[in-house]
Amino acid sequence: MEQKPTTLGALFENAGDYLETRVDLIKLKAIDKASDVASSLVSGITMFLLILFAVILVNIGLALWIGELVGKSYLGFLIVAGLYMLIALLLHFFKDAWIKEPISSILIKKMLS
């Protein structure tokens, strides 16, 4: 009579295969999340730099225009600098609500999606 493999042995073999497959799946999911976060970070930094260059050029133009209006070009630059100091002061007091919490929420959503 032909001997069939034991049910217990087959169960252990299947459990081992299942565990190996689960570990591979977890690794692939982790790689997918890491690559998604990294690509989002790189594209975000690229967009930030492009917008930063545009803002710098617009600010130079604005400072020169304000300087022309008030009669002295350096006053235009001082006025624009004063506006940025006011914005920096506001950001200092509201940084948690305006910066920290939204960025934390975005990162958490990216990691859990």
Local mean pLDDT, 10-residue blocks, the chain (113 residues): 66 87 92 87 94 97 96 95 96 89 84 74
For residue 30 the two structure tokens come to 């982790």
Q: What does the pLDDT read at residue 75?
A: 96
- What residue segments make up the domains of the chain, in order of their start? 7-112
DSSP-assigned states of every residue in 8-29: HHHHHHHHHHHHHHHHHHHHHH
Answer for the pair 66, 75: CB distance below 8 angstroms, yes or no.
yes
User: Within 13 Å of residue 105, how many CA atoms lie on the same side as its CB?
Assistant: 7
Single-letter amino acid, residue 5: P
Q: What does the pLDDT read at residue 1?
A: 46
Q: What does the pLDDT read at residue 80?
A: 96
**For residues 81 and 9, what is the distance between their CA atoms, to the nearest angstrom?**
76
Predicted TM-score (pTM) of this structure: 0.60
